[in-house]
Amino acid sequence: MHAYDAAEQVDNTIRLNANESPRRSTIGNFRRPLNRYPEVRPQKLQTALANRFGCRADQLLVTRGSSEAIDLVIRTFCRAGEDGVLVTSPSFSMYRHYAEVQGADLIEVETLAEHDFAIDVDAILAACKDSTRLIFICSPNNPTGTVLARDELERLLTERGDASAIVVDEAYIEFGDKPSVTELLGRYTNLLVLRTLSKALGFAGARCGAVAGPPEIVRILSAVQAPYALATPVVECVEDALQDDQLALAEAAVLDTVAERERLVVALANYDFVVKIWPSDANFLLVRFTDAATVMRRCEVQNVLLRHFGGALDDCLRISVGSPDENDQLLRALDTLKGTNNG
Ligand SMILES: Cc1ncc(COP(=O)(O)O)c(C=O)c1O
């Protein structure tokens, strides 16, 4: 695959090669003119994000959220009706969604519920078929908060070798104390790492994420991605978000979230209708209740929305860690269930 042959963009030239409007709008306060197409791939942003994520610029493709990276990777690696994707369960449902969109085969491997939903690398290796091109590992895992140990990941990378790429989704990495596995990029040619600005950096609305991997794979993913994928307002917003002062604010917000997460763990443990709170390296907690449906409904009535998944997690709810006020509101909603025999 070759990159789309876009109109040349050269500074200080008269651009009559891209059918753009010559009229510069006064809407918005952007550094770059909105009547011009953005860069096909935003170079400055790519370098800044590569620095942040611990890889080289040629090992990174900036995407519209990591959601787009999931879609791109599956479309690039899987021929419809022939190749397949392996996911663990329970995990983030978007891997399954995009595998279905592509018509890729899907293998689901249960995590070990009795061991805090640990990822079972032996079971994954046993379940792989010759056609399994991608293995998605979400670490910390959404919605269980579980992390895959580094040596287990390396076992998976080594055992699958050229047969499958291992896609490690690190959407929540900043909320734990483990380093990113981008450190391993130089050692494994079948490792891809997904990162996002939607969680720790607080820019879900900007839709910006990235996939890191070997340069030759990144080049192909880039050829598959839409030209001009990142809009000028997004590029400028994220460039600003990556300035030192903004990063310091984001880092403080992560520390606040972690402190609130630990406060919630202590507070939740006091309710007799809370059965189990799983350890979490993310910005959410998975909690088992004696009656999850009642808790969910009562919170909803009190204007607090929680997430229910069903299946193996039918009696559980995922609670995102909010601001101190929002978390207090959650606890007040739960207080109304005290002594109601809802369990
Ligand atoms: C594990 C995981 N990966 C990826 C995403 C997608 O994030 P985004 O597309 O906003 O980068 C999410 C969103 O909740 C997620 O939980």
Per cent of the chain over pLDDT 90 is 95
Sheet holding 284-289, edge to edge: 274-277, 284-289, 316-320
Give the closest residue to 53 by CA, choosing from 270, 205, 165, 218: 218
Residues 235-247 pLDDT 10s? 999 999 999 999 9
| Interval between CA 66 and ligand 1 midpoint (Å) | 6
Cβ atoms of 304 and 264 closer than 8 Å: no
Q: Which of 66, 93, 169, 197 to mutate to test the pocket of ligand 1 (most atoms within 8 A of CB)?
A: 66
Residues 136-180 pLDDT 10s? 999 999 999 999 999 999 999 999 999 999 999 999 999 999 999
| Interval between CA 17 and ligand 1 midpoint (Å) | 37
Q: Which of 92, 93, 201 to mutate to test the pocket of ligand 1 (most atoms within 8 A of CB)?
A: 92
Has residue 341 got a pLDDT over 70?
A: no
Has residue 343 got a pLDDT over 50?
A: no
- Look at the pTM and tell me if it is higher than 0.85: yes
> Is residue 6 exposed (0-12), middle (13-18) or buried (19+ Cβ within 10 Å)?
middle
Residues 109-128 pLDDT 10s? 999 999 999 999 999 999 99
Residues 165-220 pLDDT 10s? 999 999 999 999 999 999 999 999 999 999 999 999 999 999 999 999 999 999 99
Q: What residues are in contact with ligand 1 under a 6 Å CB criterion?
A: 65-67, 92, 138, 142, 169, 171, 196, 198, 204, 209
pLDDT at 107: 98
DSSP 166-186: EEEE-TTGGGSSSPPGGGGTT
Where do the domains of the chain lie, and which CATH numbers do they carry?
43-242 (3.40.640.10), 246-335 (3.90.1150.10)
